[in-house]
């Protein structure tokens, strides 16, 4: 059975390669209608959450205002979705926008980075007295692990501030991966230790621990350590451990995702989701463009374009787009005013854009609207809790349900946020 | 406000000096009360543990790490006295390191609080207070009443309120929880659903900090805190350089002024959405305490008479809303909170020290007291509170008594969290080492004495003080130059980057000019010896040649050790950045991220197991230059090696079966057998649990 699955995998991979190469070279568009989009609500089992840390400019990316002086040198291009035009840097993404919903009426009341990130991740504003769980931690707690040998919640990339399990138990906290190319640390035996020697070690350890467990096994924590060791050994032996190993990925695919830390992190996210990890967050920094905003866009957008387009095609080719929700989020947008002298844009929480794709989301639409300068939301405002409630709903989580913190305080997965029905197919 | 502290009775004052007789007597009383309680519950106390278990436990509980081989030898020798060990450890820098880790968890200590505020001066204050063992009520009072610039030397106590920068309401909830075990955070936004606290009561408490500002410079009138020349420079600069110039000035003042001002006006406004009948929304309420001895503040003077006339009208338009005048209400609050007559202040600290010593408190959790809360042994609780008051909140003297009880010498008892019965202390509770204790104990295996890595309190804060003093000491000309440099941020970015790099280089220069390293000394010594060796060879002095060859070998080995030991990553947890970076060993073993009060964790997880299975032992613990490796290499035969490994890692001798098994394995397998032995010991339950 395993072998069969593997060979199917290989077929998909080849099919994907053919198509992605074509897409990336601009010689053709992905064929239409190969994979029917389902029309059910809440088909997501897992999330790839791409976080643009620092505040991604909405005007230069997914909410351009062609012809307005707020655009500076940024231009817009049409996409496969009729009423969605996007920044001209997204050449690879444009033909795929029929899979993507742009939420361009996002609005937050948190204008500082740390507070904004916290709000975006937890749906609650930052308090000194409690830490709220992020969506990933909630999902881990409420849906449990899909693959018992892998951790359900992983965070890739340096800055994981705010990506914490809050008041939930520590096993729901994300497993942090700093550099995606390093994979999971300490997961392999040292070179000097053979499998046989490791067996001997474990046998002697069991003998050593037996007396202790006999005497103190009544204490839960002693038993938890026995379990943690079993799980660790299981993980070390798990075939799924290769999920953390990017070397196992064919070179063309590694290249297609982009060789930078972010691109490789997203590839890692796909590998993990493929093997049943529930929630993978990948953080990309450098979006706080107070100075020389347009230089930064020239540098960052082509690689975001490449990575995102590759991810969507890859998920689709593997038949994963239906039950994998792809989210692109950030803490706020940036001002329409271009600060003279430094060509920068400042923080702008009042209006910004996020993306949703896959997992039962109806692509090819722009939800909500900002005014002609991209300054204020004028149609169907989406609050941060609403956005997170939509993600939770896609995952089949009950956003109305009240959960108690260990100190007995009541919380909801996305605070009082309400899912947006029109975003679903 | 006068202190309400009781005069310390003379007889008990001796206890704080560590007088053996009185300590033993006080300890005996604790044991009597515990043992009576056990008898009533039909439980039997655990038997006393052997000398080596007791020594390891005492080191972990007091100094926060396992004993080194030398320390274990010394304190398990015939005639070694537990009381003396306790005294020595309580006086050691290890005790300060461990106590700091515990308080850092409670107080959410971080090396930085946001972009502007450094946590280093605050850490300096705490380590200093612990090192000098200043009375607890006294240093808490200083935390609550501190004023001044946070980055100026000697003002570290300002870090307490600055930790919740510009969040005075959250800071008040946290204060009530940390020091009085009272949970009022619900009442911040509405009346508490199950307890008596009302939102109004919460605001009356917060009113004690009314008028406190989070800057030592009045940012609305910054010129007031400068002499005229410098004020002129600042004014002219801001005028000449437009919006960016004003930003430069504001940033400089904000950075320099980080701190606290205002001794409290005893008043605060209710929230605009206040929904209860007893007051209007946005009404001004006066400070009032919710329980304990009443605090009376002086009546605020009458607000100034409204003058009439055109000039007065202009003034009225310009003026900020009238703020109540200062009343010293922060001082009054601190005195109330730390008073021995406050019904919860002593209860909480007694339980914190008790828990630190015996693994659990008489009241769990220690920071959620209710009106109907009852300690496991109420009489003991009362006795300990009385003792704490009589000792004048000398935490070391108090813990010395607990450490000298029979209870502390008893075998660890299983604590069943899910059980119906409360834990009754038939012995100390079996507990896992904290993340810091695991790290510091492994460090001991690698370095020998890990306390060598402890710096004097404040060593890492010194550059912050120096920078603050440098800017404060600038004359008008120097200030102008600094502002011009800062302006480059907007006018010439490459030049600004060069300026910043030059400043960093200068700071590094200052930091490293503290004398040559020991490793460099050793290299110089090896060179000298090599010259001497050549000379000895020429003169055919065989004895000298043999001696110098030995000395060179020693120096080489010491140099290798030095390189290993001086690795800046290999320092005790209290010397790492606070908290340690995400993914660090200490964090994986449960060090708090310092975002929530007391959120360190003792839970088991997979990365911990992977660390010990694949990460630490083979690569680090037995690397060239490690103390454990040297101790094992120095052993003459396998039995000695087995004993050394057991004593180093677990703090005890192997049983005869264990010795037999491992000696046979070592003889079969040689070098790799020793590594396997150390691996097994470090991975065992026995290593990570404090028995």
pLDDT for the residue numbered B32? 97
In-domain check, residue B485 = no
Check if A196 contacts B (Cβ < 8 Å).
no
The structure tokens listed for A129 are 């007295």
A50: exposed, middle or buried (Cβ count in 10 Å: 0-12, 13-18, 19+):
buried
In-domain check, residue A4 = no
- Say whether both A226 and A364 belong to one domain: no
Domain boundary among B413, B428, B443: B428
Q: What values do phi and psi take at B563, rounded to 5? A: -60, -40
- The answer to whether the CB of A403 falls within 8 A of the CB of A411 is yes
The structure tokens listed for B678 are 């150390």
What is the rounded distance in angstroms from the CA atom of residue A325 to the CA atom of residue B564?
48
Check if A210 contacts B (Cβ < 8 Å).
no
Check if B341 contacts A (Cβ < 8 Å).
no
Task: State how far residue A384 is from chain B, nearest Cα, in angstroms.
Answer: 21
In-domain check, residue B284 = yes
**Torsion angle, alpha carbons of B83, B86, B88, B94, to 10:** 170
Task: State how far residue A225 is from chain B, nearest Cα, in angstroms.
Answer: 6
pLDDT for the residue numbered B165? 86
Does the distance separating the beta carbons of B114 and A218 come in below 8 Å?
A: no
- What is the mean pLDDT, run by run of 10 residues, along chain B of 691 residues? 38 49 92 97 96 98 98 95 96 97 97 88 98 97 97 97 90 96 84 79 96 89 82 90 88 91 94 89 94 86 56 53 74 96 97 98 93 94 97 97 98 82 94 97 93 91 92 93 92 90 82 57 84 90 87 74 69 95 86 86 86 85 88 95 97 96 91 92 97 91
pLDDT for the residue numbered B563? 63
Does the distance separating the beta carbons of B583 and A176 come in below 8 Å?
A: yes
- Closest partner residue to B414 (CB to CB) among A200, A218, A236 is A218
In-domain check, residue A279 = yes
What is the rounded distance in angstroms from the CA atom of residue B405 to the CA atom of residue B424?
15
Peptide bond into B365 cis (omega under 30): yes
- Say whether both A33 and A98 belong to one domain: yes
Query: CB-based contacts of A257: which residues, under 8 Å, 6+ apart?
Result: A263, A264, A266, A267, A306, A307, A310, A311, A314
Angstrom CA distances, A134 to A27, A121, A161, A224, A325, stand at: 41, 5, 11, 25, 16
- Say whether both A323 and A193 belong to one domain: no
pLDDT for the residue numbered A20? 45
What is the rounded distance in angstroms from the CA atom of residue A152 to the CA atom of residue B430?
31
The helix (run of H) or strand (run of E) holding residue A162 is: none
pLDDT for the residue numbered A8? 38
pLDDT for the residue numbered B322? 53
CATH of the domain at A112: 3.40.720.10
- Say whether both B350 and B320 belong to one domain: no
Task: State how far residue B232 is from chain A, nearest Cα, in angstroms.
Answer: 27
Does the distance separating the beta carbons of B368 and A170 come in below 8 Å?
A: no
- Say whether both B373 and B297 belong to one domain: no
Q: How many residues does chain B have?
A: 691
The structure tokens listed for A26 are 């601009």
Does the distance separating the beta carbons of B582 and A193 come in below 8 Å?
A: no
Nearest CA in chain A to B605: A228
- Say whether both B332 and B357 belong to one domain: no
- The answer to whether the CB of A231 falls within 8 A of the CB of A247 is no
Q: What is the ipTM of this complex?
A: 0.84
Domain boundary among B428, B456, B475: B428
Does the distance separating the beta carbons of A341 and B610 come in below 8 Å?
A: no
Q: Taking every pair of C-alpha atoms in chain B, what is the biggest distance, in angstroms?
A: 107
**Torsion angle, alpha carbons of A380, A386, A390, A395, to 10:** 180
The mean of the pLDDT values for chain A is 87
Does the distance separating the beta carbons of A170 and B685 come in below 8 Å?
A: no
Does the distance separating the beta carbons of B603 and A169 come in below 8 Å?
A: yes
Q: Return the number of other C-beta atoms located less than 10 Å from residue B359's C-beta.
A: 20
Helix (H, G, I), strand (E, B) or coil at B57: helix
Paired sense of beta strands A333-334 and A347-348, if any: antiparallel
What is the rounded distance in angstroms from the CA atom of residue A146 to the CA atom of residue A152?
7
In-domain check, residue A379 = yes
What is the rounded distance in angstroms from the CA atom of residue B20 to the CA atom of residue B28?
12
B618: exposed, middle or buried (Cβ count in 10 Å: 0-12, 13-18, 19+):
buried
Task: State how far residue B489 is from chain A, nearest Cα, in angstroms.
Answer: 10
Helix (H, G, I), strand (E, B) or coil at A371: coil
- Say whether both B243 and B365 belong to one domain: no
Go through A129-155 and write b for each residue having 16 or more CB atoms within 10 A of its CB, e for each that does not.
bbbbbbbbbbbbbbbeeebebbbbbbb
**Torsion angle, alpha carbons of B609, B610, B613, B618, to 10:** -140
- Say whether both A204 and A339 belong to one domain: no
Among residues A38, A50, A8, which one has the least CA distance to residue A310?
A50
Q: Is the pLDDT of residue A25 over 80?
A: no
Residue numbers of B between 422 and 451 with CB closer than 8 Å to A: 430, 432
In-domain check, residue B458 = no
A357 backbone φψ class: left, alpha, beta (φ>0; ψ -120 to 50): beta
The structure tokens listed for B357 are 């010593």
Task: State how far residue A7 is from chain B, nearest Cα, in angstroms.
Answer: 31
- Say whether both B14 and B31 belong to one domain: yes
pLDDT tens for A34-92 read 223 333 456 899 999 999 999 999 999 999 999 999 999 999 999 999 889 999 999 99
In-domain check, residue B108 = no
- Say whether both B148 and B16 belong to one domain: no
The structure tokens listed for B594 are 């310092």
What letter does residue A171 receive in the DSSP assignment? G
- Say whether both A220 and A250 belong to one domain: no
Provide the number of structural domains found in chain B: 3
Paired sense of beta strands B267-269 and B284-286, if any: antiparallel
- Say whether both A251 and A338 belong to one domain: yes
What beta strand segments (E) does B193-339 contain?
Answer: 213-215, 258-261, 267-269, 284-286
- Say whether both A212 and A123 belong to one domain: no
Mean pLDDT, residues A254-282: 96
Domain boundary among A201, A227, A243: A243
Angstrom CA distances, A80 to A29, A94, A248, A317, stand at: 10, 6, 34, 19
pLDDT tens for A129-147 read 788 999 999 999 999 888 8
Among residues A178, A54, A116, A236, which one has the least CA distance to residue B587?
A178
Q: Is the pLDDT of residue A398 over 60?
A: yes
Residue numbers of B between 349 and 368 with CB closer than 8 Å to A: 368
Neighboring chain A residues of B681 at a CB cutoff of 8 Å: 208
Q: Is the pLDDT of residue A276 over 50?
A: yes
Helix (H, G, I), strand (E, B) or coil at B144: helix
In-domain check, residue A1 = no
What is the rounded distance in angstroms from the CA atom of residue A156 to the CA atom of residue A260?
13
- The answer to whether the CB of B34 falls within 8 A of the CB of B383 is no
Q: Return the number of other C-beta atoms located less than 10 Å from residue B227's C-beta.
A: 10
The structure tokens listed for A119 are 């709000």
SS (H, E, C) B240-290: HCHHHHHHHHHHHHHHHHEEEECCCCCEEECCCCCCCCCCCCCCEEECCCC
- Say whether both B78 and B187 belong to one domain: no
Check if B211 contacts A (Cβ < 8 Å).
no
What letter does residue B307 receive in the DSSP assignment? P
- Say whether both A149 and A257 belong to one domain: yes
What is the rounded distance in angstroms from the CA atom of residue A72 to the CA atom of residue A81?
24
The structure tokens listed for A150 are 């892998």
The helix (run of H) or strand (run of E) holding residue B134 is: none
- Say whether both B209 and B244 belong to one domain: yes
- Closest partner residue to B415 (CB to CB) among A219, A232, A342 is A219
Among residues B265, B266, B270, which one has the least CA distance to residue B289?
B266
Neighboring chain B residues of A180 at a CB cutoff of 8 Å: none
Does the distance separating the beta carbons of B606 and A170 come in below 8 Å?
A: no
Provide the number of structural domains found in chain A: 2
Residues spanned by the domain of B48: 10-97+344-428
What is the rounded distance in angstroms from the CA atom of residue B261 to the CA atom of residue A4?
72
In-domain check, residue A35 = yes
The structure tokens listed for B516 are 């040559």
- Say whether both A191 and A317 belong to one domain: no
- Top residue of A173, A182, A225, A238 to mutate, by most chain B CBs within 10 Å, is A225
Q: Which residues pair with B269 in a beta bridge?
A: B284
Reported confidence tier of residue A22, pLDDT bands at 50, 70, 90: very low
In-domain check, residue A17 = no
What letter does residue A238 receive in the DSSP assignment? -
Residue of A14 and A371 predicted with greater confidence: A371
pLDDT for the residue numbered A18? 44
What is the rounded distance in angstroms from the CA atom of residue A380 to the CA atom of residue A388?
16
A105: exposed, middle or buried (Cβ count in 10 Å: 0-12, 13-18, 19+):
buried
Query: Crossing angle for the helix pair B69-76 and B51-58, nearest 10 degrees?
Result: 130
- Say whether both B332 and B367 belong to one domain: no
In-domain check, residue A404 = yes
Q: What values do phi and psi take at A348, rounded to 5? A: -145, 85
Q: How many residues does chain A have?
A: 425
Neighboring chain B residues of A197 at a CB cutoff of 8 Å: 672, 676
| CA A212, chain centre distance (Å) | 43
The structure tokens listed for B160 are 């307490």
- Say whether both B362 and B296 belong to one domain: no
Task: State how far residue B185 is from chain A, nearest Cα, in angstroms.
Answer: 7
- The answer to whether the CB of A276 falls within 8 A of the CB of A147 is yes
Task: State how far residue A171 is from chain B, nearest Cα, in angstroms.
Answer: 7
In-domain check, residue A5 = no
pLDDT for the residue numbered B566? 64
Reported confidence tier of residue A10, pLDDT bands at 50, 70, 90: very low
Domain boundary among A222, A243, A264: A243
In-domain check, residue B4 = no
- Say whether both A56 and A43 belong to one domain: yes
Domain boundary among B544, B565, B586: B565
The structure tokens listed for B292 are 């304990």
- Say whether both A208 and A176 belong to one domain: no
SS (H, E, C) A11-30: HHHHHHHHHHHHHHHCCCCC
- The answer to whether the CB of A308 falls within 8 A of the CB of A91 is no
Angstrom CA distances, B184 to B7, B189, B370, B398, stand at: 32, 10, 11, 29
Among residues A88, A80, A68, A61, which one has the least CA distance to residue A371?
A68
Q: Which residues pair with A339 in a beta bridge?
A: A344
Helix (H, G, I), strand (E, B) or coil at A377: strand
In-domain check, residue B457 = no
Residues spanned by the domain of A32: 24-183+245-423
Helix (H, G, I), strand (E, B) or coil at B520: helix
Does the distance separating the beta carbons of B613 and A229 come in below 8 Å?
A: yes
Does the distance separating the beta carbons of A208 and B686 come in below 8 Å?
A: yes
- Say whether both A153 and A69 belong to one domain: yes
In-domain check, residue B535 = yes
In-domain check, residue B533 = yes
What is the rounded distance in angstroms from the CA atom of residue B429 to the CA atom of residue B361?
10
Residue numbers of B between 224 and 253 with CB closer than 8 Å to A: 244
């Amino acid at each position: 059975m395993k072998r069969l699955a593997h060979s199917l995998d290989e077929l998909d991979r080849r099919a994907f390669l053919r198509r992605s190469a074509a897409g990336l070279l601009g010689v053709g568009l992905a064929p239409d209608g190969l994979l029917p989009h389902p029309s059910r609500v809440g088909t997501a089992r897992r999330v790839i959450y791409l976080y643009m840390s620092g505040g991604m400019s909405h005007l230069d990316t997914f909410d351009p205002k062609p012809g307005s002086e707020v655009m500076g040198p940024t231009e817009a291009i049409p996409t496969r979705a009729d009423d969605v035009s996007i920044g001209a840097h997204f050449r690879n993404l444009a033909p795929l926008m029929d899979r993507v919903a742009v939420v361009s009426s996002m609005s937050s009341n948190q204008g500082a980075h740390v507070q904004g990130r916290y709000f975006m991740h937890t749906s609650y504003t930052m308090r000194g007295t409690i830490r709220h769980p992020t969506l990933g931690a909630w999902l881990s707690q409420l849906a449990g692990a899909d693959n018992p040998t892998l951790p359900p919640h992983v965070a890739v990339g340096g800055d994981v501030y705010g990506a914490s399990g809050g008041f939930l138990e520590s096993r729901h906290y994300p497993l942090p991966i700093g550099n995606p190319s390093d994979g999971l640390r300490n997961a392999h035996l040292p070179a000097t230790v053979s499998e046989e020697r490791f067996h001997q070690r474990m046998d002697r350890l069991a003998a050593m621990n037996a007396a202790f467990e006999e005497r103190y096994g009544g204490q839960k924590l002693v038993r938890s350590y026995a379990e943690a060791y079993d799980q660790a050994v299981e993980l070390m032996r798990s075939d799924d451990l290769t999920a953390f190993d990017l070397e196992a990925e064919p070179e063309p695919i590694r290249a297609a995702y982009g060789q930078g830390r972010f691109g490789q992190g997203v590839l890692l996210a796909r590998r993990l989701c493929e093997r049943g990890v529930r929630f993978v967050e990948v953080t990309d920094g450098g979006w706080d463009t107070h100075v020389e905003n347009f230089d930064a866009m020239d540098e960052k957008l082509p690689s975001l374009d490449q990575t995102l387009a590759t991810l969507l095609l890859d998920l689709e080719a593997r038949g994963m787009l239906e039950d994998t929700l792809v989210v692109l989020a950030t803490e706020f947008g940036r001002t329409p005013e271009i600060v003279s002298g430094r060509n920068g844009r400042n923080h702008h929480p009042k209006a910004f854009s996020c993306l949703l794709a896959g997992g039962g989301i109806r692509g090819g639409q722009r939800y909500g609207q900002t005014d002609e300068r991209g300054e204020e939301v004028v149609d169907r405002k989406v609050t941060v809790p609403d956005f997170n409630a939509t993600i939770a709903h896609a995952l089949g989580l009950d956003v109305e349900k009240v959960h108690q913190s260990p100190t007995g305080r009541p919380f909801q997965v996305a605070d009082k946020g309400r899912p947006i029905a029109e975003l679903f197919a | 406000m006068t202190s309400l502290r009781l005069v310390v009775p003379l007889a008990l004052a001796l206890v704080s000096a560590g007088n053996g007789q009185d300590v033993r007597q006080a300890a005996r009383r604790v044991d009597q009360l515990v043992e009576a309680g056990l008898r009533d519950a039909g439980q039997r106390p655990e038997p006393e543990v052997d000398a080596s278990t007791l020594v390891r436990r005492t080191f972990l509980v007091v100094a926060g790490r396992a004993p080194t081989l030398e320390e274990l030898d010394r304190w398990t020798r015939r005639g070694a006295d537990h009381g003396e060990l306790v005294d020595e450890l309580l006086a050691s820098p290890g005790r300060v390191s461990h106590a700091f880790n515990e308080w850092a968890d409670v107080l959410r200590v971080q090396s930085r609080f946001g972009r502007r505020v450094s946590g280093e001066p605050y850490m300096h204050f705490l380590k200093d207070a612990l090192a000098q063992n200043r009375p607890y009520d006294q240093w808490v009072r200083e935390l609550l009443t501190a004023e001044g610039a946070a980055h100026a030397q000697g003002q570290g106590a300002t870090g307490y309120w600055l930790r919740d920068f510009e969040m005075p309401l959250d800071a008040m909830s946290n204060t009530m929880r940390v020091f009085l075990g009272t949970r009022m955070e619900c009442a911040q936004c509405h009346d508490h659903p199950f307890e008596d606290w009302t939102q109004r009561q919460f605001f009356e408490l917060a009113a004690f900090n009314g008028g406190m500002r989070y800057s030592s410079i009045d940012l609305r009138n910054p010129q007031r805190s400068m002499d005229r020349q410098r004020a002129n420079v600042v004014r002219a600069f801001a005028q000449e350089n437009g919006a960016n110039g004003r930003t430069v000035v504001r940033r400089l003042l904000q950075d320099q002024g980080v701190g606290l001002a205002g001794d409290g006006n005893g008043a605060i406004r209710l929230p605009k959405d206040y929904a209860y009948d007893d007051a209007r929304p946005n009404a001004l309420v006066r400070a009032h305490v919710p329980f304990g001895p009443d605090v009376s503040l002086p009546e605020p003077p009458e607000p100034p008479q409204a003058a009439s006339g055109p000039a007065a009208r202009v003034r009225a338009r310009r003026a900020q809303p009238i703020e109540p005048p200062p009343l010293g209400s922060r001082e009054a609050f601190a005195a109330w909170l730390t008073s021995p007559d406050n019904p919860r202040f002593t209860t909480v600290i007694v339980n914190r020290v008790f828990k630190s010593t015996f693994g659990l408190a008489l009241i769990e959790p220690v920071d959620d007291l209710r009106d109907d809360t009852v300690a496991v042994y109420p009489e003991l609780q009362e006795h300990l509170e009385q003792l704490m008051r009589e000792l004048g909140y000398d935490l070391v003297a108090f813990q010395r008594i607990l450490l000298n009880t029979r209870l502390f010498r008893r075998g660890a008892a299983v604590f069943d969290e899910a059980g119906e019965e409360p834990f009754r202390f038939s012995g100390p509770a079996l507990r896992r080492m904290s993340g810091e204790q695991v790290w510091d104990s492994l460090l001991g295996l690698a370095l020998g004495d890990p306390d060598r890595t402890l710096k004097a309190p404040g060593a890492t804060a010194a550059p912050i003080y120096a920078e603050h003093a440098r800017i404060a000491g600038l004359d008008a000309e120097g200030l102008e130059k600094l502002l011009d440099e800062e302006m480059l941020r907007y006018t010439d970015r490459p030049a600004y980057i060069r300026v910043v790099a030059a400043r960093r280089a200068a700071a590094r220069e200052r930091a490293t000019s503290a004398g040559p390293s020991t490793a460099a000394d050793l290299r110089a010594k090896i060179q000298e010896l090599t010259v001497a060796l050549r000379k000895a060879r020429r003169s055919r002095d065989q004895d000298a040649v043999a001696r110098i060859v030995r000395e060179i070998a020693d120096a080489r080995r010491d140099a290798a050790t030095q390189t290993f030991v001086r690795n800046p990553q290999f320092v005790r947890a209290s010397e790492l950045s606070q908290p340690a970076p995400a993914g660090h060993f200490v964090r994986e073993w449960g060090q708090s991220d310092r975002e929530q009060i007391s959120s360190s964790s003792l839970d088991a997880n997979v990365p911990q197991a992977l660390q010990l299975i694949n990460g630490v032992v083979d690569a680090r613990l037995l690397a060239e230059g490690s103390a454990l490796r040297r101790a094992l290499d120095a052993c003459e035969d396998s039995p000695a090696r087995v004993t050394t490994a057991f004593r180093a890692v677990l703090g005890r001798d192997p049983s005869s079966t264990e010795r037999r098994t491992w000696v046979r394995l070592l003889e079969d397998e040689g070098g790799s057998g020793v590594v396997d032995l150390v691996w097994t010991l470090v991975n065992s339950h026995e290593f990570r649990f404090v028995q």
